[in-house]
Amino acid sequence: MEASHGLIEAVVLLALASAGLAATERLRLPSVVGFLVVGAIAGPGALGLVSDPDSVRELAELGVVFLLFEIGLELPLERMRSLWRPALLGGGFQVGVTIVGAATCAIFSGLPWPTAIAIGAGISMSSTAVVLRLLSDEGQIDAPSGQLSVAVLLLQDLAIVPFLLAVPLLAGGAEGLGEIGWAVGRMSAALVFVGFSVWFLVPRTLEGVARNRGGELFSLFALLIVLGSALTAEALGLTLAVGAFLAGVAASGSPFAHQLFSEIVPLRGVLLGIFFTAVGMFFSPVQVMEAPGTLVLDVLAIMLGKALIVLVGGMLVLRQSLRVSLEAGLCLAQMGEFSFVLLGVASSAGLIEPFVQQRFVAASIVTLVLSPFLIRYAPAIASAIADRLRHPGAQLPSDPKEPDTHQRVVVIGYGPAGQTLIRLLRSLDVPYIAVDTNPSAALEAERAGEPVIYGDATRPQVLQHLKVWEAKLVAVAISDPLATRRIVSRIRAMAPKTSILARTRYVQEVDQLSMAGANVVVAEEFEGSIELVARALENFDVPAGAIARFTKALREGGYDAIRAPAALPIDPWLIELLDRTDTEWVEVPMSVSDRPTLGELDLRARTGGNVLVVERAGDSHPNPPPTFALLPGDRLLVLGSAENLLRVRSLLEGGPESS
């Protein structure tokens, strides 16, 4: 019965998370806000749909495990190189000053110092999920204030690992230096063991699993990495989240990291929704009603304090302008998902009383609900205050400018077609990136210095990593028709303005790919037919220009002429293209040795063609006179129909006596 009861609680929690997500998407708010609010409404303090949030705590905490793994996997080493200074100085200043300030206030309110430090660490965290989502939606993520916010968030995300490691030390009440040293040594040894294991085993095993080419095996192994590393770390005295983080960092250097990311993210999203909904259930309306002023003071102190600390750090430590620093401060004024994690771990360890935890959970929920509005209007607020104070708001000259990536080409498929296209792009100095599901091909290309990653482009997460919306062209050059259709459809949904070139082998896929969003569809079966027709026409001395017009019309018509039943004749207007008057280069054969003049040949009267230009040894002779003598190898630009051009060739081969 207990298992059945736990399953019922989990199903209810899933339903609530779905309701919260639907509500926030309709209101265009971050999903975290909806999860928290719905959880608070449905929790034991309100409607009581789930009477005991602790019954689903283990399931909910898996969301944090997957989030830590993703952060380790997505550890932006390239971005860290460009943001290390603001992250280290600005982020370190914000986290350190926030902990000291919040802990000092907590100690003066009567809380013991270990509890005060844990609370200060929780308050120092901001919401990476909420801030990055909103900055991206508002187009501010690459602005100076957005870059400063990202730098501070980066250090906060990294700081959660030592914070989680410190909780058992703070909760242990170790009074002697020996006990503290033993605890630190034990944790350090466990950290080294787990780190060495995942760094040594994970990349090699990933490569072996990927070479197996089994999608289900790769998915199962991805789940095994996350949960196995988390459980191993917990068994050695660390936390689940620390183990998952280390495994993510170890896997981030693998060429298969993008595919691993795409396998984990969907499940992570579901479990995080459950986690935030469960956190919202700890909200106690009764406690708020008993002391509403306390909640208001907590929210004001947290948001104003954090905004002020980021403002001071940005201006004094990083020499940013008031406007940029204030914008970043308003963006980072809330408490985040790791605040709940840290407070939850501290509560489980007995470091924080449930009453105190509920107080800060309530304040956290309110700060998160207010954040979307604060971030949306942060530029206007900061500009107004900077103008009022007559403070310069110019961007720092040291802010790096993002390169123009809108000329980039994304090639999906590193087979013969993809490699041929890549060689062309490389020759034209066009930037490109390719993705392929063949791990051997991806590894070989990576060793050769080619920007080719391993991943399944049918996964939206892989397409997001490729930033298809920034590409000038996406070329889908794989042989799987169903996968091609899914990829084209998802690219079109993500990037409405990006040009999509799709290749397919089969006739019936042309219309479906066009409906899915492909701008151009190249059908191998049709192209083979067109090439066959073109080669046949060459044998009948049809001018190359006429053949080019004919084949172009076949393609522009969506291959309709080729797709028609064999019993039907080709449309007459297509045949007319073969006989339309046009210009064509005709070469004088080497058999012409008596230097005939144009007048002697009487070419116009005898063939109907008109010589416009004679090209000899790279020199052009326009409108040549009748006395112009021809030499073997000369090239004549002749105006005429296909029949006229055929007569010109026959005349030149037969000499002036030909009729």
What residues contact residue 525 under an 8 Å CB cut-off, 6+ apart?
505, 506, 507
- Domain count for the chain, please give it: 3
Claim to verify: residue 598 and residue 651 sit in the same structural domain: yes
Claim to verify: residue 586 and residue 512 sit in the same structural domain: no
* Residue 221 burial class via C-beta count within 10 angstroms: exposed 0-12, middle 13-18, buried 19 and up: buried
- pLDDT tens digits along 504-529: 876 667 778 888 888 888 877 666 66
Report how far apart, in Å, the C-alpha atoms of 170 and of each of 175, 351, 356 are: 10, 7, 17
Give the residue from 332, 353, 388 where a domain finishes: 388
Claim to verify: residue 429 and residue 353 sit in the same structural domain: no
Claim to verify: residue 246 and residue 112 sit in the same structural domain: yes
User: What CATH number did the domain enclosing 205 receive?
Assistant: 1.20.1530.20
pTM above 0.85, yes or no: no
Give the residue from 497, 518, 539 where a domain finishes: 518
Claim to verify: residue 270 and residue 343 sit in the same structural domain: yes
The predicted structure's pLDDT at residue 539: 63
Q: Is residue 325 part of a domain?
A: yes
- pLDDT tens digits along 156-170: 877 877 887 788 777
Mean pLDDT of 34-49: 75
CB 361 within 8 A of CB 279: yes
CA–CA distance, 264 with 41 (Å, rounded to integer): 29
Q: Is residue 638 part of a domain?
A: yes
Cβ atoms within 10 A of the Cβ of 104, count? 13
Report how far apart, in Å, the C-alpha atoms of 464 and of each of 29, 262, 265, 450, 457 are: 21, 10, 12, 20, 10
Q: Is residue 347 part of a domain?
A: yes
First to last CA, the chain: 104
Q: Is residue 637 part of a domain?
A: yes
CA–CA distance, 592 with 654 (Å, rounded to integer): 8
User: What CATH number did the domain enclosing 503 receive?
Assistant: 3.40.50.720
CA–CA distance, 14 with 309 (Å, rounded to integer): 38
Q: Is the pLDDT of residue 578 over 60?
A: no
Claim to verify: residue 594 and residue 479 sit in the same structural domain: no
Structural domain boundaries, residue 622: 581-659
- pLDDT tens digits along 350-408: 888 888 887 888 888 888 878 888 888 888 888 788 777 755 443 333 433 444 445 78
The residue count of the chain comes to 659
Claim to verify: residue 448 and residue 591 sit in the same structural domain: no
Claim to verify: residue 175 and residue 317 sit in the same structural domain: yes
Claim to verify: residue 281 and residue 331 sit in the same structural domain: yes
Q: Is residue 532 part of a domain?
A: no
Q: Is residue 461 part of a domain?
A: yes
Claim to verify: residue 195 and residue 332 sit in the same structural domain: yes
CA–CA distance, 378 with 382 (Å, rounded to integer): 6
Give the residue from 332, 358, 388 where a domain finishes: 388
The predicted structure's pLDDT at residue 95: 92
Q: Is residue 6 part of a domain?
A: no
Please list the residues that pair with 520 across neighbouring strands.
501
User: What CATH number did the domain enclosing 606 receive?
Assistant: 3.30.70.1450
Claim to verify: residue 66 and residue 122 sit in the same structural domain: yes
- Going by C-alpha positions, the residue among 68, 95, 114, 105 that lies closest to residue 341 is 68
Claim to verify: residue 210 and residue 313 sit in the same structural domain: yes
- Phi-psi category of residue 120: left, alpha or beta, with phi > 0 → left and psi -120 to 50 → alpha: alpha
The predicted structure's pLDDT at residue 410: 92
- pLDDT tens digits along 210-240: 666 555 777 777 778 778 877 877 777 666 7
- At residue 629, φ and ψ (nearest 5 deg) are -90, 135
Q: Is residue 526 part of a domain?
A: no
